């Protein structure tokens, strides 16, 4: 049976979305092709009809998921530090900590990307640069945008790894305080 282009596109999107949620929660290296296909409700054979292999799927899902993150930050009005601070507080929240499958792939998948092939790493580089480009107008400078990314991703990574809930809260709170300080300094400079 032949499927329409629309059906094929929907299946591919479902594979990307479901695989992204799965790997952000379980890790990419630990997820076999069968588990990734099952997360999308398709067979592993179907996965291979849409992607050249597991690495191709990883590159595509990194590209798509980082694009979604960039789009969230693109909605921030340039120079609106209040909106930016609110967005960063959501990023540095217990919800994002507890639900990695719903959030940004940077905290959970960066270490796996570092061990991936060049196609995956190139998709990561492109996505990371786009997130930076979207944060730069609201952060006020390239360096501040990178600082926001570095600090926020690192805080979420460390908090997810920590066992003690008090330590988790402390890590997230300290990062939110530094984000607030960065934006407060920016308000004074303007």
The label of the residue with tokens 């303007």 reads 190
Confidence band of 188 (pLDDT split at 50, 70, 90): very low
Residue 141, pLDDT > 80, answer yes
What average pLDDT does range 138-160 have in this prediction?
A: 95
Prediction pTM value: 0.89
CATH number, domain at 167? Answer: 1.10.357.10
Q: To the nearest 10°, the Cα dihedral for 67, 71, 72, 78?
A: 140
Report the domain count for the chain: 1
Residue (of 118, 115, 96, 116) closest to 105 by Cα position: 96
Confidence band of 186 (pLDDT split at 50, 70, 90): low
Give pLDDT, residue 79: 81
The label of the residue with tokens 């998921």 reads 65
Give pLDDT, residue 5: 79
User: Residue 100 carries which DSSP code?
Assistant: G
Q: In whole angstroms, how far apart are CA 14 and each of 17, 42, 75, 97, 172?
A: 5, 9, 24, 24, 32
Give pLDDT, residue 4: 78
Residue 165, pLDDT > 70, answer yes
Give pLDDT, residue 1: 61
> What digits encode the pLDDT tens for the residues 80-117?
889 999 999 999 999 999 999 999 999 999 999 999 99
Confidence band of 187 (pLDDT split at 50, 70, 90): low
Q: Residue 46 is part of which domain span?
A: 5-189
Least confident of 1-5, 8-12, 50-54, 137-141: 1-5
Residue 184, pLDDT > 90, answer no
């Amino acid at each position: 049976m032949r499927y329409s282009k629309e059906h094929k596109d929907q299946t591919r999107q479902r594979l990307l979305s479901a695989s992204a949620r799965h790997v952000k929660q379980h890790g990419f290296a630990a997820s076999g092709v069968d588990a990734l296909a099952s997360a999308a409700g398709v067979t592993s054979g179907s996965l291979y009809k849409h992607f050249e292999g597991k690495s191709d799927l990883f590159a595509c899902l990194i590209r798509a998921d980082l694009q979604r993150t960039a789009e969230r930050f693109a909605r921030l009005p340039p120079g609106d530090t209040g909106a930016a601070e609110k967005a960063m507080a959501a990023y540095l929240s217990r919800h994002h900590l507890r639900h990695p499958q719903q959030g940004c792939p940077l905290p959970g998948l960066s270490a796996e990307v570092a061990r991936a092939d060049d196609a995956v790493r190139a998709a990561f580089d492109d996505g990371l640069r786009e997130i930076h480009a979207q944060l730069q107008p609201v952060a006020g400078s390239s360096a501040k945008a990178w600082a926001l990314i570095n600090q926020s991703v690192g805080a979420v990574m460390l908090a997810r790894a920590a066992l003690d809930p008090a330590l988790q809260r402390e890590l997230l709170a300290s990062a939110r305080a530094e984000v607030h300080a960065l934006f407060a300094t920016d308000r004074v400079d303007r």
